[in-house]
Amino acid sequence: MAHDTLYASRPRRARRARRAAGPGPLRPLLRWDGAVGLALLLVALGAALLVDGFATAGNVRFLLLDAVAVALVALPMTLVVVTGEIDLSVASALGLCSAVMGRLWVAGLPLELIVVLAVALGAVLGAVNGLFVTAFALPSLAVTIGTLAAYRGLAFVVLGDDAVADFPFEWTDAVAGTLPGGAVPWAMLLTALLAVAFGVLLHGTPFGRGLYAMGNNAEAAAFAGIRVARAKFWLFVASGATSGLAGVFWTLRYASARADNGQGLELSVVAAVLLGGVSIFGGRGTLPGVFFGVLLLATLRNALQLADVPADTLDIVTGSLLIASVVVPNAIARARARPATGRAAPAGEPTAPPRQERPEREDTEDAPA
Amino acid sequence: MPLRSVRIPRIPRTPHSPRGPRRAAAPGRAARLGVAALAACALLATAACSGTTREDGESDRDAGAGASSTATADPNAPLAEDLAVAFLPKQVNNPYFTVADEGGHAAVEEFGGEYKEVGPSEASASSQVSYLNTLAQQHTDVIVTSANDPNAVCGALNSARSAGARVVTFDSDASPECRDLFVNQATAEDIARTQIELIAEEIGGSGQIAILSATPNATNQNAWIELMQQELEKPEYAGIELVTVAYGNDEDEKSFQETQGLLSSYPDLAGIISPTTVGLAAAARYLSGSEYGGRVALTGLGTPDQMREFVHDGTVAQFALWDPADLGYLAAYAGAALASGQITGAEGETFTAGELGEYTIGADGEIVLGPPTIFTADNIDDYAF
């Protein structure tokens, strides 16, 4: 198309340069999400060989149960961050939903209804974020830092320092229950199914493509006919609803509805999302990468705990991993960009700022769901 | 980056643009997204039969309680050798628990067991659960823990017990049906009474006082505060008015600021009780550096090392605490006695805790270390923790 030939010269040249630099068949592993998946596999294998008690059904079950809440919240978070926004209020929304759940249970409502209400409440909390971000065009970082504090405060208003713990045993037991074999909790299976749904949404629908477009340039996306504000609003609603669901899971898993449930979880979620290769600036990242990221962090933590590595060392390891996950792709991108820009930009022409090179990396956005 | 969020131009809103029909479909698609989570929760809801309310479950709540031992105690059984004893405090690198765990370490060395300390770097119940699961996987014989949430750790404690571990809680109890023994540092009544006695003595029996607590949901502190309020209702304390409870969240900075806030909000404040070591040290630091030092009385629970300079400079005349090292020491011996079959955890059984001597198990499997120790300028230098 004429449209293509007008714009393709630079990316094409860059692509040619990259092709010359890297061997073809190893490409998938060179992509960040592939690398995270590979790291997950290596860590799991290494732990199974080196750490006593790691490769047992019971341990895998605990590992996956510990990862469920982070994994759940990370799914919509991936989409939110891809659009260039962030939702830091997720853990507080989780806590508020948990507190409300406890309050309603004490009030004598049936648990089936409470679960639905808790998720609906989460959606409303997300809608509040969405409204501020879209209708009032406020930065989501500021809005959700505000609601992070506000929702947690509300949770304490609802339940104070009480804990509601008398949830029925069949429910708390079922939440921690596993599929036959004893290794995979059904809660993780449900999370994986949701991950597939979110993955299809992000990678297989025009809506999902639109999210990348607005992450790269919201204005251009709006001009291209993408309803940026509407999409972002619904992403925040989804983020809230999923936090509500995670709150239900958390409450039943620990058989304890408390206002401080999940405190600090937002950092684990954002860490997993970044480790999974989603750019904090938006426009880049894949859902499988994030899912691997969540599992990689959980596996590493579990294996190191079993190996009696002290908590502070453990924090240092996860922190370093996170920094590496930001630094390494950046370094690779710079290394790749240098020869490309060198050829593309003759002397005298201003060097392209890094953001404009993003379209060249569209392979990272196109992961199969 | 969210910071450079872009104002959305209104231009593409023209209804006749070629993409019009597609856009009409978008809200439906987006709505389905929101519904996805709801659908997932419907799945959750169908997992159990309909209409589970609180009343239904009341009777079978105890069904899941952990394996209660039916074995009989043999008071003369020797302490088993090579017991694997793990200390899981509320939080590692917390000076209080470090001292308590070192006391446990000393005890474990005495009876020839294998000691280790594990735990989260932040005091949360969920991370404790993950550590408990790990300990169960490692087939630990004795788990000595201080619960961040009495109920949240319950399931994990019970699965560790069915894997063969004996569970002793110390400092902060878990639900009684989830552990074998609880080693209480001092009864809550003793702690509350001691602190009220100390403050009453220092402010001369009348005046306004305030409490600077830990977090608003700290189990121990809240129990003590409630008992302190009851204690204040006694006629001999009629002149003392508790004006407020402030929360420093067990953070030094926040506690410092809260103390500052208390003194500016209540100019007639005669004394402050801080029933938490972090709060007491921060309040003392504020007082000693301000005009209020020596004028406003301060007491509470603190460690000698943290309070030494403030006792010597006259900011704080006296404060109370138990010796956490003794607490850990006693808990380790209690666990070893359980694992060796000397005791089963039933009321009235006795065992010997090394150099601390003999202890008797009270109601609900509780063992009390003893009355709190009062630290003053005269004796503070005898303690180092």
**pLDDT tens digit string along B222-263?**
999 999 999 999 999 999 999 999 999 889 999 999 999 999
Token look-up 């750019």 returns A279
Which among A73, A72, A75, A80 is positioned nearest to A235, based on CA atoms?
A80
**Interface check A256 vs B, CB under 8 A:** yes
Structure tokens at A360: 């060249």
Which among B302, B306, B318, B321 is positioned nearest to B377, based on CA atoms?
B318
Alpha helices in A135-185 (DSSP H): 140-159, 169-175
CA distance A22 to chain B (A): 30
Within a domain: residue A277? yes
CATH code assigned at A274: 1.10.3470
Instruction: Enumerate the domain spans of chain B.
Output: 84-186+324-369, 188-319
Token look-up 């550096």 returns B289
Q: Which helix (H) or strand (E) covers residue B84, if one does?
A: strand B84-88
Contacts of A78 in chain B (CB under 8 A): none
Within a domain: residue A265? yes
Q: Are B34 and A92 in contact (CB under 8 A)?
A: no
**Interface check B151 vs A, CB under 8 A:** yes
Backbone φ and ψ of B374, nearest 5°:
-100, 130
Contacts of B55 in chain A (CB under 8 A): 108
- Amino acid in position B363: A
Structure tokens at B94: 């917390």
CA distance A22 to A31: 12
pLDDT band at B269 (very low <50, low <70, confident <90, very high): very high
CA atoms A45, B157, B119, B353: torsion sign: negative
Q: Which residue of A has its CA nearest to B19?
A: A225
Q: Are B320 and B186 in contact (CB under 8 A)?
A: no
> Can you name the residues that pair with B321 across neighbouring β-strands?
B373
Q: Which helix (H) or strand (E) covers residue B297, if one does?
A: strand B297-300
> Can you name the residues that pair with B208 across neighbouring β-strands?
B241, B269
CA atoms A194, A198, A204, A206: torsion sign: positive
**Interface check B206 vs A, CB under 8 A:** no
Percent above pLDDT 90 for chain B: 61
CA distance A181 to B231: 56
Residue range B84-186+324-369, CATH number: 3.40.50.2300
Q: Are A126 and A241 in contact (CB under 8 A)?
A: yes
* Rg of chain A on CA atoms, in Å: 22
Neighbours of A83 (CB within 10 A): 27
Contact A311 B63 (CB under 8 A): no
Structure tokens at B103: 């006391």
Contacts of B175 in chain A (CB under 8 A): 165
Contacts of residue A59, Cβ cutoff 8 Å, sequence gap at least 6? A53, A302, A306, B133, B137
Contacts of residue B52, Cβ cutoff 8 Å, sequence gap at least 6? A110, A111, A112, A168, A170, A171
CA distance B225 to B300: 11
Contacts of A306 in chain B (CB under 8 A): 134, 137-138
**Which CA distances in Å does A287 have to A201, A322, B32, B178, B200?**
10, 17, 18, 40, 62
CA distance A206 to A231: 11
Q: Are B217 and B225 in contact (CB under 8 A)?
A: no
User: Hey, of B54, B177, B213, B222, which one would you mutate to test binding to chain A, going by the most A CBs within 10 A of its CB?
Assistant: B54
Within a domain: residue A348? no
> Can you name the residues that pair with B241 across neighbouring β-strands?
B208
Neighbours of B116 (CB within 10 A): 16
**Interface check A234 vs B, CB under 8 A:** yes
Contacts of residue A177, Cβ cutoff 8 Å, sequence gap at least 6? A185, A186
Its pTM surpasses 0.80: no
Backbone φ and ψ of A69, nearest 5°:
-60, -45
Strand order through the sheet with B181-184: B114-117, B84-88, B142-145, B166-170, B181-184, B366-368
Cα B359 vs. chain centroid, distance in angstroms? 23
Q: Are B241 and B208 in contact (CB under 8 A)?
A: yes
Contacts of B12 in chain A (CB under 8 A): 222-223, 225
pLDDT band at B50 (very low <50, low <70, confident <90, very high): low
> Can you name the residues that pair with A185 across neighbouring β-strands?
A178
Half-sphere exposure of A106 (CA within 13 A, CB side): 15
Token look-up 């493509």 returns A209
Contacts of residue A73, Cβ cutoff 8 Å, sequence gap at least 6? A90, A91, A94, A239, A242, A243, A246, A265, A266, A269
Instruction: Return the ∠ at Cα A228 (arms to A222 and A229), rounded to 5°.
Output: 130
Range with the lowest mean pLDDT among A174-178, B20-24, B290-294, B325-329?
Answer: B20-24
The better pLDDT of the pair A333, B359 is held by: B359
CA distance A331 to chain B (A): 19
- Amino acid in position A148: L
Contacts of A251 in chain B (CB under 8 A): none
User: For each of chain A's 369 residues, which pLDDT tens digit applies?
Assistant: 444 433 444 444 444 444 444 445 556 666 888 999 999 999 999 999 999 889 999 899 999 999 999 999 999 999 999 999 999 999 999 999 999 999 999 999 999 999 999 999 999 999 999 999 999 999 999 999 999 999 999 999 999 877 888 899 889 888 988 998 888 999 999 999 999 999 999 999 999 999 999 999 999 999 999 999 999 999 999 999 999 999 999 999 998 999 999 998 999 999 999 999 999 999 999 999 999 999 999 999 999 999 999 888 888 988 898 888 888 877 887 888 876 554 444 444 444 444 444 444 444 444 443
pLDDT band at B216 (very low <50, low <70, confident <90, very high): confident
Which among A184, A189, A177, A193 is positioned nearest to A59, based on CA atoms?
A184
Neighbours of A305 (CB within 10 A): 27
Looking at domain B188-319, which CATH architecture does it have? Answer: 3-Layer(aba) Sandwich (3.40)
Q: Output the CA torsion A210→A214→A219→A222 (10° steps).
A: 20
Contact B33 A59 (CB under 8 A): no
Cα A160 vs. chain centroid, distance in angstroms? 30
* Angle in degrees, 0-180, between the axes of helices B20-46 and A111-134, rounded to the nearest 10: 150
Supply the mean pLDDT for chain B. 84
Name the residue among A52, A62, A84 with its Cβ closest to that of B133.
Answer: A62
CA atoms A285, A289, A291, A294: torsion sign: negative
Range of the domain at A173: 31-328
* Count: domains in chain A: 1
* Angle in degrees, 0-180, between the axes of helices A228-253 and A186-204, rounded to the nearest 10: 170
Backbone φ and ψ of A291, nearest 5°:
-60, -45
End-to-end CA gap in chain B: 48
For residue A105, the model assigns a pLDDT of 95
On the question of pLDDT at B17 being above 50, the answer is: no
For residue B382, the model assigns a pLDDT of 82
Q: What is the DSSP letter of A166?
A: -
The better pLDDT of the pair B45, B160 is held by: B160
Token look-up 């971000």 returns A133
pLDDT, tens digit, for every residue of B74-131? 888 888 888 999 999 999 988 889 989 999 999 999 999 999 999 998 888 888 999 9
Backbone φ and ψ of B291, nearest 5°:
-65, -15
For residue A28, the model assigns a pLDDT of 61
CA distance A308 to chain B (A): 7
CA distance A344 to chain B (A): 27
**Interface check B72 vs A, CB under 8 A:** no
